[in-house]
Every structure is written in structure tokens, then in C-alpha cells.
Amino acid sequence: MKTKYLAIVAVALALVACDKNNDDFNIDNTKDTPITIASAGVAELTTRVITDGKLVGTSDSHATMSVFVTGGTADKYNATNLKWEHDGTSWNSETNVLYEGASSTQKIYACSPYTTVTDNNITVTATDQTDWLVATATNLTSSAANLTMTHALTKLKLELSYGSEVAEEDRTTKRVDVWDMYRTGNLNIANNTWSELSKTAYIVSMINNEALVIPMNNCTSFPIIITMEDARVFKTTINCPVIGTDANGENIYGLAPGTQYNIALQIGQDKVTLGSITASPWGYAAGGVLETE
């Protein structure tokens, strides 16, 4: 009887050990691992500033981003306006935020460059001509986050040509101004939407025949004024393209975010002729190949 009793005890201990091993096996090994940014999409492909094949910010500083992590059950699983910096090879932060594991309800979103963010909003001013990049809120499914950055603004690119009657010495522009743009607006980086838009016939001056402007949902047309070095002034009106339809199926005209509009204009001796207006994705090349424009 004693031998039988010992055998039963041994079996019971074996079952307990087996259950313990199963518990160990079911432990979530991803829980409390530091969140890393594996990639940031267009932020690493943008033509903004690439030096010796490395991503840098303006004035040779490192590219930066503001990162938010929400939905965690404790402070260590959340982050507010955490600064991440690109060292030329990868994204890094001085502060760790932890991934809550397979049961995580965490979301991550970001904007670049790093800036002050209030209630998920940044104030954008057209004169700054800052190329704001936004990764909207997405669920974290592992500790390695792959952000998809998009351009929040619209790029206008003027493609100038000249009539044969215009002498070579008369083919120099002094300035190109785009009228009736938004001066300022609040950009929500969590969902890439705009509010508090201020439009008072504001003028944005092009640099090298390019300008970044705040997107417009209801725009029928806008003027472009070209001033030549010899003081001649040309004005033309650009009709806004269709960017979608409303609930009634009616066309919505405007300037879409993350889009480059190529505007062809020919300058003659005493007039300017509008050519084609084409839209194309701005600043992104598939397969990690840098796109030059």
C-alpha cells in the first residue's frame, strides 16, 4: 500500500511540473520589450535632405520626429511627444517606451520634424515652408514599429517654358507668387486632418519654382503672379482639380495633401499661356529607391 501511495504522489508531482512547464511556455516573451522604430516610410525616402546617403534634417542636423504611444495600461507603456532622432543609420530615443505584449491595445503616431504638439495639433504657418510628415495612429502589433509617413502639405511645382520670341536675356524670373492660399492651420497628427484654417488672400512665394501650401478642400481657382527681372508682370489663374466627391456625388475641387501638382506655363513676350496641370504622388519611391524630382 505504501508503494502504491508513493506512486500516486509521484504522478501528482509530475502533473504539477507539467502544468508549470505549460505556464512557462505560455509566457508572452514580447511583453515589456522596448519599442523601436524599424522604419518610417517616406521620412526615409524624402528628398528633403540626403547627405552621403544618410537622412539628416535641415542645416545638417539629424532628422527628428515627435512620437506618441497611447492606450497602454501604465505609464511605462505610453509616451507623449517623445523625441526620436535619426543617426544616419537608425532611429533612436533616449527614453524607452515598453510594448505591452500580445494583448496590447497601444497605438503609435508621429510627426516629423520634432516640434511642440498640443492636444495632437501643431500650428502650421505657410511662410515656414516646412515639409511636415505625419504617421497617423495605428495599432502596435509588435515592439518593432513600422511607421508610414506621408506629406501633410501639398506641393506646387511650376514648369516654365518660353516662347521663341522671348530673348535669352529676358528669361529670368524675379519672383513667383501664389495667391489666395491658407496662411495658417492646425494639423492633427493623429488623423492627418486640418482645422482653424485662416484664408485672407494670403500670398505664398515660390522658391526655385516650388511652394508648399496647406491643402484646400473647397478651391475653385487661384492666381499665380510672375514678376520678371525686367519688371514685366504676368498673371494667370489656375483652376483647382477634382480631388474627390461629396455625399451627393458632386465633385470636390481643391488641392490634396501629399500630392505634387505640376503646372506648365509658357511665357511669351506679352502674355503667359497655361499648359497642362498634372498630379503625382510626392516624394515616394517604391522599393526604397530615392526619388529625385
State the Cα–Cα distance between residues 213 and 152, nearest whole angstrom.
10
Grid cell locating 101: 505584449
What integer is the mean pLDDT of 271-284?
Answer: 72
- Residue 169 shares a structural domain with residue 52: no
By C-alpha distance, which of 196, 237, 229, 231 is closest to 214? 196
Residue 60 pLDDT class (50, 70, 90 cuts): low
Q: Which of 123, 151, 179 is the last residue of a domain?
A: 151
Query: Is there a domain that residue 11 lies in?
Result: no
* Count of CB atoms situated within 10 Å of the CB of 43: 28
DSSP class per residue in 184-215: EEEEETTTTEEEEEE-SSEEEE-BTTEEEE--
- Same domain, residue pair 143 and 169: no
Domain-embedded: residue 17: no
Region of 101 (left: φ > 0; alpha: ψ -120 to 50; beta: rest) is: left
Which is higher by pLDDT, 173 or 270?
173
How much is the average pLDDT of 8-12? 43
Count how many domains the chain has. 2
Q: What CA–CA distance (Å, rounded) separates 45 from 67?
A: 19
pLDDT at position 189: 96
Q: Does one domain contain both 250 and 168?
A: yes
Do 42 and 134 sit in the same domain of this protein?
yes
The label of the residue with cell 504617421 reads: 135
Tell whether 50 and 81 lie within a shared domain. yes
Q: What is the mean pLDDT of residues 243-258?
A: 91
Given 108, 130, 151, which residue is the final one in a domain?
A: 151
Query: Is 106 part of any domain?
Result: yes
pLDDT category, 100, cuts 50, 70, 90?
Answer: very high
Based on the domain organization, do 128 and 167 belong to the same domain? no
What DSSP element (H or E) covers 16?
Answer: helix 2-25
Burial class from Cβ neighbours inside 10 Å (0-12, 13-18, 19+) for residue 7 reads: exposed
Which residues are CB-neighbours of 277 under 8 A, at least 6 positions away? Answer: 238, 239, 241, 261, 262, 263, 264
Query: For residue 216, what is the domain's CATH number?
Result: 2.60.40.2630
Residue 120's alpha-carbon distances to 54, 67, 109, in angstroms, are 29, 11, 10
91 and 137, same structural domain? Answer: yes
Q: What is the pLDDT of residues 161-203, one digit of tens each?
A: 888 888 888 888 899 999 999 999 999 999 999 999 987 678 9
> Which stretch of DSSP H or E encloses residue 17?
helix 2-25
CATH number at residue 84: 2.60.40.2620
Residue 19 lies in a domain: no
pTM: 0.80
Q: Is residue 133 domain-shared with residue 210, that is, in the same domain?
A: no
Whether residues 238 and 143 share a domain: the answer is no
Kindly state whether residues 66 and 107 are assigned to the same domain. Answer: yes
Q: Show the domain range for 71.
A: 33-151
Q: Do 121 and 174 reside in the same domain of the chain? A: no
pLDDT score recorded for residue 170: 83
**Residue where a domain stops, chosen among 151, 182, 197:** 151
Provide the pLDDT for residue 41: 65
Q: Are residues 158 and 147 in the same domain?
A: no
Distances 3 to 12, 16, 98, 256 between C-alpha atoms, Å = 14, 20, 52, 83
